[in-house]
Structure 1
Amino acid sequence: MKPGKAIAGFLVLPFLLLVAGLLVIAALAGGLPAGQPASLAANGVYMSGNVPAQYREVILRAGALCPEVTPTMLAAQMEQESGWRSDVQSHAHAKGVAQFIDPTWATWGTDGDGDGKAEVTNGVDAILSAGRYDCHLAGEMRVLLDAGRARGDIQDLTLAAYNAGPGAVEKYGGVPPYNETQNYVRNIRKLMDKYQVITPAVAAGTPFGAAVVTFAMNQRGLPYSWGGGSVDGPTEGFAQGRGIIGFDCSGLVLYAVYQASGGKITPPRVSQAQVTVGQAIPSDFAQMQPGDIIGFDPKRNGDFSHIGIYIGNQQMVHAPRTGDVIKVSPLSEYADANWSVRRYG
Structure 2
Amino acid sequence: MAESGSSKSRQQLFRHQTSVLDSRASQQYANSIRLQPREVYIPGTPGTESIPRFSGKPSGPYVHLARAAARRHGVPEDLFLRLISQESGWNAKARSHKGAIGLAQLMPVTARVLRVNPHDPAQNLEGGARYLAEQFHSFRSWRLALAAYNAGPEAVRKYGGVPPYRETRGYVKAILGS
TM over 0.5: yes
Equivalent residue pairs, number: 139
Match of 1:121 in 2: 119
1:95 aligned partner, one-letter code: I
In 1, distance between residues paired with 2:174 and 2:152?
18
Cα deviation, residue 187, structure 1: 0.5
2:71 partner SS? coil
Aligned CA RMSD, in angstroms, stands at 2.6
Match of 1:37 in 2: 40
1:137 aligned partner, one-letter code: Q
Cα shift readout 1:207-256 (whole Å, capped 9, x = no counterpart): xxxxxxxxxxxxxxxxxxxxxxxxxxxxxxxxxxxxxxxxxxxxxxxxxx
Match of 1:132 in 2: 130
Cα deviation, residue 47, structure 1: 6.4
Structure 1 residues 100 and 36: CA distance shift in structure 2, 3 A:
closer
TM-score of the pair, normalised by structure 1: 0.37
In 2, distance between residues paired with 1:106 and 1:38?
28
Q: Does 1:164 align with 2:162?
A: no
In 1, distance between residues paired with 2:150 and 2:135?
11
Cα shift readout 1:112-164 (whole Å, capped 9, x = no counterpart): xxxxxxx312222211110111111111113xxxxxxxxxxx11100000011
Greater RCO structure (CA 8 Å; 6+ sep)? 1
Aligned partners of 2:54 and 2:82 also within 8 Å:
no
1:97 aligned partner, one-letter code: L
Cα deviation, residue 35, structure 1: 2.5
2:176 aligned partner, one-letter code: R
Match of 1:56 among 51, 54, 63: 63
Cα deviation, residue 56, structure 1: 2.5
Structure 1 residues 158 and 62: CA distance shift in structure 2, 3 A:
same
Cα deviation, residue 48, structure 1: 9.3
Taking every aligned residue pair, what percent have the same amino acid on both sides? 32
Aligned partners of 2:41 and 2:76 also within 8 Å:
no
Q: Which has the higher helix share?
A: 2
Match of 1:86 among 69, 92, 96: 92
In 2, distance between residues paired with 1:96 and 1:189?
21
Match of 1:175 in 2: 162
TM-score of the pair, normalised by structure 2: 0.68
Q: Which has the higher strand share?
A: 1
In 1, distance between residues paired with 2:164 and 2:148?
12
The structure that has the greater radius of gyration is 2
- The unaligned stretches of length 5 or more in structure 1 are 1-32, 111-118, 143-153, 191-345
Structure 1 residues 46 and 181: CA distance shift in structure 2, 3 A:
closer
Aligned partners of 2:67 and 2:81 also within 8 Å:
no
Cα deviation, residue 181, structure 1: 0.5
Structure 1 residues 49 and 101: CA distance shift in structure 2, 3 A:
closer
In 2, distance between residues paired with 1:174 and 1:61?
29
In 2, distance between residues paired with 1:126 and 1:66?
14
Match of 1:303 in 2: none
Aligned partners of 2:103 and 2:124 also within 8 Å:
yes
1:59 aligned partner, one-letter code: A
2:171 partner SS? helix
